[in-house]
Structure 1
Amino acid sequence: MNRALRRSALTVALGLCFASNVHAQSNTAGAVFGQAQAGDTVLVENPSTGFKREIRVGSDGSYRASALPTGNYRVTLQRADGTTSTRENVTVNVGTGTSVNFAAAAASGATTLDAVQVTAMAMVNPIDVSSVESTTILTAEQIAKIPVPRDVTSVALLAPGTVKGDAAFGNLASFGGASVAENAYFVNGFNITNSFKGLNFANIPFEAIGEQQIKTGGYGAEFGRALGGVVNLITKRGTNEFHAGGNIFYTPESLRGDGKSRYSPSGLLVEDNSRDKLGDETIASVWASGALVKDTLFGYALVQYGRESGIRNFGDNISVANDSETAKNPNWLVKLDWNINDANLLEFTGFSDKKESERDVFSNPQGQSVRQNYLGTVHDENGGENYVLKYTGYFTDTFTLSALYGTGEYKRNNYAVNAAGQRLVYDGNVSPDNATGIVGAQGCPLVTDGRPDAVAGLIPAYTSSCAFLTGADTTAHNLGLQDARDKREQFRIDAEWQLGAHLLRFGYDTDTFKSRDGEASEGGAAWRYVVRRDEEMVRRRVFQTGANVEVDSRAFYVEDNWSITDNFIAYVGLRWDSFENKNGEGQTYVKQDNQFGPRLGFSWDVNGDSTFKIFGNAGRYALPIASNVAIRGSSPSLYSQEYLYYDGVDPVTGAPINPHATGDARDALSYLNNEFGTGKDPRTVTSRNLDPQYQDEYILGFQAAITDNFSGGVRAIYRDLKRGIDDQCDYRILAEWADENGYAIDSYNPAFAFCHIYNPGSDLDIQIDIDADGTLEDVYIPADRIGPKAKRTYQALEFFAEGQLTDRFFLQGSYTWAKNKGNAEGGVKSDIGQDDTGVTQDFDYPELMIGSEGYLPNDRRHTLKLFGNYEFNDQWSAGANFLYQSGRPVNCFGVNPVDDDIGYGNSYFYCDGAVVPRGTAGRTSDIYNLDLNVAYRPSFAEGRLALKVDVFNVFNRQDALAVDESGEDSTGNSLRDITYLTPTVYQAPRAVRFMVQYNW
């Protein structure tokens, strides 16, 4: 009988019984709710901090303590007759509700339950019947048991429905078929997403993360500005008990697997990586936490230092430079919590994620695997400091208010120092009269040899001992600004109000994101030797940008969690987003007001005991235009190109000698996209009927308890991009309009922007000074003359399970079957590595979209994830992390045989003169990966000392993650037997990581 009583108590404590109360999602806190006798009082307190809330049970027998800081709580029922019942170790996680139902216990006759202390297993994530979201929560304790790289993306990739994005964009995840540029990231409620391109976010020291919440779909109206997923981080915090510690993670070069060299399918050595060294990596952290004033003021502080080094591109036979890099990460975090009194809390979070790197560059003659002279050093500084202040007030038992203010800075500084010690800095001054724009020493020109026989190694390539310094490991081959940076200022206010069966939440937030950015070719121009019309020529291309730009976002939301019955809740959320984008002159070029985003959902606790949940939701999600769009699209930029004859090649720089005009008008100087280096009138940049891009999402699923501590479920997901935003650059339709309306077009008018931001599939309604008379004309082009509508759909079935199979065996996993189809990936273009978020080459010309509909780069048909940990005894444990994933679609890009004057080279879904529809040229290899670890906590150290070894990619599998998809070069010569389908990125080789940690 006692065993049955304890099992019933555990079920009550772990189950999230709805009990005519509901929980609304929060981005920083959780809640405790449940049933008791009307008029009783419930005391919720955290013994570690002294924080407590006293809630009176309502007339309907329900109570709720909201906006609780995450942690372990004691919940005590104080009855009117003076008796009490207590639940110990009630865990509150971010964004979830924990039910403690005293009424259920009383009804069962458990009159002595107040003597029972319920302790939940740390690895159990109970079924949350109060939520309609698709969410995975991993605590620091869980993450420590899994062999996983210590970064936010790697942890996010453990969640169902996430796949690793293309390596061209760094270490990022794709959520539910969206591009890697469409996610949102938060720390303690502060938005840390880098809105410049959406391809970065501020990183807190990993050791400081207390919980990571991964929202893969169905998130409520409180969250917006994301079409993919939301990653929500909660930091560790101090308690009354003093704690301190330190650890070192060390990954030695000597235990890494060798990198794989790149060979074409025909056996041609494309990249010799046999002498590359990935280098050692060391990360050390020390921390301390405790009470500055007992039960009142708490602090947590951490300092982390990381260092890594390596040698890459050591003598690649296709590169013109190779490098050795050293990176340093001196980071810190401080978290302060002030319990002013039981009704008012104040929190402060400050952290730095600065990273400094130096890359020594050496010359490497093209076509030879030889390291030659030292050329110079490239310096990069990234990251900055972030500060967040948050207030929470519990004004009544039913009304809670919070307010947050935060600022953040992210530097993207870049400069180079050549072998003579001279600094090369781009000044950001965009003008045709500014020549190179490079201050200090004259840099080396970028020179590539695109002649088919040279690429194939049949003839010597034009080489250079003055290899391009700054672009040694980039695709842009440009020098950035020394003072490039991003700054964010955010304010938000959120309120929660319980009105009987309705839990209302509403809030407002503003977000100002300012960026400074620019780039230019190091040597002032980029040269490429080609065969054009059966003649050898050299192409000269000049590119310069530089501007200060801004995105202002604001949003208002309101949501209602309605308890229709004791075990059925309905969720209704409404959100209005507004976005304003400003160019380098501070002028508004896009303004979108009150994009409406409704959210609907339900959760049915079928059995009324949290053992079987059916849930569903439907929502609309909007995304602002990234601020990088204004750098070229609405600010001064210079982009010119011409084809020239030449008399020879400079043996040092590799640049052409005496380049001169061919006399053919098709080869003459042209300003691509009419970028003359002068300002653009914002009225001529954006279609006047532009609407925000948005996506609709539908989810239906269930989750059921398999055992007391293990659950599983299934959900079906459908996402549909209803409206996109991109740019189109087809000047021909403007010339046709001018001819039809009696205007003499002047395409070299600086006010005549070729590229315009619009909604693909919609009409273009733009103002243009089309005849250069100083007056803007109203130009209207119907959609059927521009190009297709942006399309992207995602269909998936997710099977998931998690919990404790035994007291010592924690297991979590998922299998996802998915299809990701359409004609546009989203903000970026993975199949060619283009990171111009929001303005990729998609939709520039209708010819580029011929054959574009098919399976998208993030289409991974099958994904299986399994991870967990087994404790052999109190000293030894082992963990595993397994991934299987099917390959991604492959294209064949080539020249459009009717492309006479667009100038997009081999950017079309054509090969050998015929259309090759998207994704029909095969798939990359399936991926298998197994990581293992073993941990030892010696008994003599009384739990203070921990030793661990992680082995990543145990079997050292190095399958191709991406391949070269260019079936032809830019002049139409076939690359099928040269470089086409050559792997460009492999799985990371085996690595071994050691950890030593001590706590006291």
Structure 2
Amino acid sequence: MGEMSSRYLRKTALCLSLGMAFALPAWQAHAANNDGTIVGRTQPGAVVTVRDPATGLSRTTTADEKGNYRIPFLPVGKYVLESRKDGNLTTQPADVTVTLGNATTVNLGVRELEGVSVTATSVITAVDVSSTESAVNISREDLRRLPVDQNIASVALLAPGVNQGNSSFGGISFGGSSIAENAIYVNGLNVTDFYNRNGYSEAPFAFYQEFQVKTGGYSVEFGRTTGGVINAVARSGSNQFKWGTELTMEPGAWHDKPKNRYDADGNRYLASSEDRDSLMKTNVYASGPIVKDKLFFFAMYEARGSSPRNTSDDGTTFTSNGAHNGFWGATIDWHINDSNLLSLMAFSDKNKNTGDVYDYTFDTRTLGAKTNEIYTDSGGRNWALTYTNYLTDDLSMKLLYGSNKRNAFTRSLSDIECNRVVAETKVTNAVPVPGNVPLGCTTNSTVEKRDDTRKEARADFEWKLGDHLVRFGYDHEKDTSIYQRHYTGPGAFYYNIYYATPGSTINNTGGVLPAGYTAYVRARRYEIAGTFQTTNSAYYLEDSWQITPTFLLNAGLRNDGFDNKAADGSSYIKMKNMLAPRLGFSWDIKGDGTTKLFGNLGRYFLPVANVINIKQAGGLLDERTYYAFGGWQIQDRNGNQYAIPVLGPQLGGVDTSQGDGKVGDLRSQVDHDMDQVFQDEAILGFQQMLDKSWSWGVSATYRRLHNAIDDMEISATGKCGGDGYIGWVMGNPGKKVTVWGDTNCDGTADGWVTVDTAKEGWAMYDADGNYLGQRGWVKPKRTYTSVEFQLDRAWDNKWAFNASYTLAWNRGNAEGPVNSDTNFDDTGRTENFDNPWVNYGGDGYLPNDHRHQLKLRGTYALTPHWQFGGDLTVLSGGPITGFGVGNPYDATNYHSYYICVANCSSDRSEDRVYERSPRGKYGTMPWTYNLGASVTYLRSLGDSGQLRVKFAVYNLLNQQRTVAVDQDLQTSISDGTNSTFRQPLRFQAPRFAQLTVSLDF
């Protein structure tokens, strides 16, 4: 009986020890945006020490009375963790990997109980039961095993619910948002484009160590986004000197030819089979100690040669591009002592490209005379200095100050001599160009120079108080744009020629196309210059409360403020006290850290892009003069002929309604009480470990965008009716707008006027000019609903696998601050709300609605020397809408959700018969399949060297399916429809191959 009792007690002790190892840590696993955290449970009062063998960095903390411990703000890397009680180890030391933006849960057991020696009680769980966000982490080593192209966007597209934009301006969409709503960080530095919000600064790809893609539920330290977050951290040095080189080759011969495209009659409309990309990159790096255990460096230089070429759509010009640039990046880490760290990160993505333009005969592949050179400069230098201080075991601080620069300058040799000329196909068919010479003598329409500089400072703190983890901080940015822009050629005019029928009303200038003419010319000047500044700041506070050993509640509040300033430095759009609450929970269902149910509610605000300051508060000159089209005039430049339009009689007056070159009274141009743009989000999810390698999860997400800030033409007020014209106003469509206007209807602005744009604001007239009353705007709407399934197998040096399926619905009447279906990338100045009729009847499935999305990726090591990788994305097509022009109630020429079907040539708009053409009426675009494959050869070179050769093929099946079509069912108010409606415009990139050879020592 005594022996059985002794055995039972020893067995019970062992079970208790292992059970403690699986217990839930007490604090939420949030980590700062450029490092990670280790959390867990051990014996109460035990001293827990984490050490980085590569750098000597060591941090020590004492577990509380419940055995909980937390070590925050740790640089990403591999550590050894141990726990001691009364000087004795409670368990064997554990090897721990700290990942970006996460907390790694390590629970440490008891070394000796009742004479039982437990030597393996360190348990690291793959399910983070203390996190409430949705995120995917991908390391440099993961990417080296997979066929993933070398850019941040390709990494982000691995995450569920993230899709590539299908417009000409590209970008990526998170969870139904537009491409202009994301935030990108490198080592904590915000590198998002703040001018137009549809780009970002990007370091050379070999510079990065790890990525985290946040798709929802992120904590209050992140803001200024209603899309997603891409978080990256750079490589760093250690006590071991390392060096290496990497060669990446993508010869033009390894790129399949794009297909030429033909219309229903067999006429080629896209000449693209001679387009080709070519890229060569050589990277060298070195890292190591400057002072052992104290000061480390990582430095990298990448020489890049890029020589893409392309023909114009009609095959009449050929452009050969060449860019030969040196990219560099570096980090310096100073471990002042174990409680104070200082880190400097810097990189340059400056790029210069020269495009040589030639006359070209596509059918015979004949290269003619050189006609132009186009110069494009982009990118800039970026740096961030980060100081980390572990003030006490319970209180830590991180401070950051940095600069992000993005320059853009486009110009050409022909900018001075040549105007840009573009004509509709209907025009050139009706009035052929003599000798088929090209239109104009330049392919560059704009001379644009922009210097953007972000100065960023932030402070982040976390304080452990019993069962509470309190996190708080401050985030401040000053975003400055120095901007110049104008069109090319004499007078800086851009000529557009449009087809029209005699008697047609031309825009809003009062002009009518005379008899005998079938087209008109718009001569447009568009000029602006100035310095524009925006200040963004935010405070945040968050409490993570471990209510019970298995239930965590997280509550946070972020307070944002945006101040967009005009060219004269005055506030143009200023909004403050934008309170963004976040509430989340995580329930460790089994109490062993293997299964969790989690959820969160959150609000996220979107700032106003600097382009709004520039284009409406910066003295914009947007002058449009209309002429009857009188045919073609042939000119000669350096022995090359080209055509320009003959200007007939002027049609109406000069339209400067969208910018007269002056900074006007901003009180009449922006809503005095504007509401912010924000999105509410709800997520409920479940995740479970099946064994030490496999895990699965399911989650449901609902997002709803509230408000829009866009330009509206207020042409009437409630009191003064059609006599109360105010003009173009930035405000919230469908809500009350307060601006400086005419209060007594005498034609002079003399006070504040409030217009309820849900009911009024747009004057309506009959064909005889009689005022009929007012019309209001619809409120913007956008929702995203999804169910997401994931299955994951962790890499074990043999194989890894990840699968996700997302079923989603993206509905509403507003895609966001840009419109991809009409190719409008002027952020915050879309066509959607210019007048009430543009978006009238515009409810339906939005451009980023992809109902089904399947993503698979994996790696298999056939032998220690050979690895095979695969990546597959299957995506259902987006909706196709047939946009019309005009509507049953107004004669304007904007896109609309109505088409004219009868009496369309009538001068009287009320005589015309229209039919609704709702979103998605014409089905969807085809499904796309994108399969990538890679094979990697590995070979050790001596004791510390390694050779890695990876050959990857992207779009292995060479699918060139349509991703965007012409959605203009009518291009003018006429009885006919557009012959190119539904004609494919953009396609999957053709198959190409990439060889990467790496040597690491």
- The alignment's TM-score, normalised by the length of structure 2, stands at 0.89
Q: Deviations over 1:406-454 (max 9, x none)?
A: 0121110122113xxxxx3xxxxxxxxxxxxxxxx33x22223326263
Q: 1:726 to 1:45 in 2, by over 3 A?
A: same
Distance 1:260 1:327 in 2: 25
Match of 1:846 among 832, 836, 840: 836
Contact 1:935–1:949 (Cα < 8 Å) also in 2: yes
What is the one-letter code of the residue matched to 2:816? G
Q: 1:595 to 1:287 in 2, by over 3 A?
A: same
What is the one-letter code of the residue matched to 1:918? R
Quote the offset at 1:646 in angstroms. Answer: 5.0
Range that drifts further, 878-887 or 850-859: 850-859
What is the one-letter code of the residue matched to 1:967? L
Corresponding residue of 2:301:
303
Quote the offset at 1:987 in angstroms. Answer: 0.7
Corresponding residue of 2:730:
757
Quick check: 1:640 aligned with 2:639? no
Corresponding residue of 1:428:
none
Q: Give the RMSD, CA atoms, in angstroms.
A: 2.8
Match of 1:878 among 868, 872, 878: 868
Distance 1:306 1:646 in 2: 47
Quick check: 1:497 aligned with 2:488? no
What is the one-letter code of the residue matched to 1:352? S
Corresponding residue of 2:185:
186
Distance 1:179 1:521 in 2: 28
Where 1:257 maps in the other structure, the secondary structure is: coil
Match of 2:645 among 630, 647, 656: 656
Contact 1:265–1:981 (Cα < 8 Å) also in 2: no
Distance 2:721 2:958 in 1: 63
Contact 1:701–1:715 (Cα < 8 Å) also in 2: yes
Match of 2:333 among 337, 347, 353: 337
Q: 1:470 to 1:153 in 2, by over 3 A?
A: farther
Distance 2:900 2:343 in 1: 59
Q: 1:374 to 1:339 in 2, by over 3 A?
A: same
Q: 1:311 to 1:99 in 2, by over 3 A?
A: closer
Match of 1:401 among 397, 403, 416: 397
Corresponding residue of 1:812:
802
Q: Deviations over 1:862-906 (max 9, x none)?
A: 0000001000111011000011000011111222254765343x5
Q: Deviations over 1:375-399 (max 9, x none)?
A: 2111111000011111000010000
Corresponding residue of 1:133:
133
What is the one-letter code of the residue matched to 1:140? R
Contact 2:167–2:821 (Cα < 8 Å) also in 1: no
What is the one-letter code of the residue matched to 2:595? F
Quote the offset at 1:642 in angstroms. Answer: 3.5
Contact 1:911–1:967 (Cα < 8 Å) also in 2: no
Where 2:885 maps in the other structure, the secondary structure is: coil
Percent of aligned pairs sharing the same letter = 33
Q: 1:384 to 1:806 in 2, by over 3 A?
A: closer
Contact 1:365–1:463 (Cα < 8 Å) also in 2: no
Contact 1:493–1:507 (Cα < 8 Å) also in 2: yes
Distance 2:625 2:363 in 1: 26
Where 1:452 maps in the other structure, the secondary structure is: helix
Contact 1:321–1:468 (Cα < 8 Å) also in 2: no
Distance 2:818 2:215 in 1: 20
What is the one-letter code of the residue matched to 1:959? R
Quote the offset at 1:99 in angstroms. Answer: 2.2
Quote the offset at 1:311 in angstroms. Answer: 1.9
Where 2:24 maps in the other structure, the secondary structure is: coil
Quick check: 1:549 aligned with 2:532? yes
Which stretches in structure 2 are left out of the alignment for 5+ residues? 1-6, 503-516, 636-641, 761-775, 902-913
Quote the offset at 1:266 in angstroms. Answer: 4.7
Distance 2:340 2:828 in 1: 43
Quote the offset at 1:518 in angstroms. Answer: 3.8
Q: 1:504 to 1:658 in 2, by over 3 A?
A: closer
Q: How does 1:584-663 map to 2 (within 5 A)?
A: 584-645=567-628, 647-652=630-635, 653-661=642-650
Q: Deviations over 1:56-98 (max 9, x none)?
A: 1212221111111111111111221534533232111112112
What is the one-letter code of the residue matched to 2:728? C
Distance 2:425 2:869 in 1: 52
Q: How does 1:385-534 map to 2 (within 5 A)?
A: 385-418=381-414, 424=415, 441-442=416-417, 444-450=418-424, 452=426, 454=428, 457=429, 460-461=432-433, 465=437, 467-468=439-440, 471=443, 477-481=445-449, 484-523=450-489, 524-534=492-502
Where 2:667 maps in the other structure, the secondary structure is: helix
Corresponding residue of 1:429:
none
Q: 1:647 to 1:143 in 2, by over 3 A?
A: closer
Contact 1:892–1:911 (Cα < 8 Å) also in 2: no
Corresponding residue of 2:172:
173
Where 1:981 maps in the other structure, the secondary structure is: coil
Where 1:142 maps in the other structure, the secondary structure is: helix
Distance 1:294 1:525 in 2: 63
Corresponding residue of 1:683:
667
What is the one-letter code of the residue matched to 1:532? A
Contact 1:74–1:86 (Cα < 8 Å) also in 2: no
Quote the offset at 1:362 in angstroms. Answer: 2.9
Match of 1:80 among 78, 86, 97: 86
What is the one-letter code of the residue matched to 2:91? S
What is the one-letter code of the residue matched to 2:923? G
Distance 2:221 2:96 in 1: 26
Distance 2:786 2:829 in 1: 28
Corresponding residue of 1:162:
162
Range that drifts further, 537-546 or 609-618: 537-546
Corresponding residue of 1:224:
223
Q: 1:717 to 1:107 in 2, by over 3 A?
A: farther
Q: 1:397 to 1:109 in 2, by over 3 A?
A: farther
Quote the offset at 1:908 in angstroms. Answer: 4.8
Distance 1:108 1:668 in 2: 99
Quote the offset at 1:458 in angstroms. Answer: 6.6
Report 1 or 2 for greater relative contact order, CA contacts < 8 Å, sequence distance ≥ 6: 1
Where 1:689 maps in the other structure, the secondary structure is: coil
Quick check: 1:768 aligned with 2:741? yes
Match of 1:579 among 562, 571, 582: 562
Contact 1:559–1:574 (Cα < 8 Å) also in 2: yes
Range that drifts further, 252-261 or 531-540: 531-540
What is the one-letter code of the residue matched to 1:460? P
What is the one-letter code of the residue matched to 1:333? G
Match of 1:35 among 20, 31, 41: 41
Q: 1:769 to 1:651 in 2, by over 3 A?
A: farther
Distance 2:526 2:689 in 1: 59
Distance 1:15 1:827 in 2: 49
Contact 1:381–1:414 (Cα < 8 Å) also in 2: yes
Where 1:628 maps in the other structure, the secondary structure is: helix
Match of 2:956 among 950, 954, 960: 954
Range that drifts further, 678-687 or 263-272: 263-272
Quick check: 1:150 aligned with 2:116? no
Q: 1:220 to 1:108 in 2, by over 3 A?
A: farther
Where 2:280 maps in the other structure, the secondary structure is: strand
Contact 1:818–1:862 (Cα < 8 Å) also in 2: yes
Distance 1:463 1:106 in 2: 94
Q: 1:105 to 1:832 in 2, by over 3 A?
A: farther
Where 1:896 maps in the other structure, the secondary structure is: strand
Range that drifts further, 85-94 or 287-296: 85-94
Distance 2:442 2:427 in 1: 27
Contact 1:816–1:862 (Cα < 8 Å) also in 2: yes
Quick check: 1:920 aligned with 2:921? yes
Distance 2:202 2:39 in 1: 33
What is the one-letter code of the residue matched to 2:64? G
Quote the offset at 1:707 in angstroms. Answer: 2.2
Quote the offset at 1:148 in angstroms. Answer: 0.9
Aligned positions, number: 937
Quote the offset at 1:320 in angstroms. Answer: 6.2
Distance 1:108 1:867 in 2: 48
What is the one-letter code of the residue matched to 2:419? P
Q: Deviations over 1:534-556 (max 9, x none)?
A: 33242223132323212110000
Q: Deviations over 1:213-249 (max 9, x none)?
A: 0000000111000000011101111011111000101
What is the one-letter code of the residue matched to 1:738? C
Distance 2:18 2:405 in 1: 46
Where 2:634 maps in the other structure, the secondary structure is: coil
Q: Deviations over 1:1-32 (max 9, x none)?
A: 9xx99xx99x9899985233332332112111
Q: 1:954 to 1:620 in 2, by over 3 A?
A: same
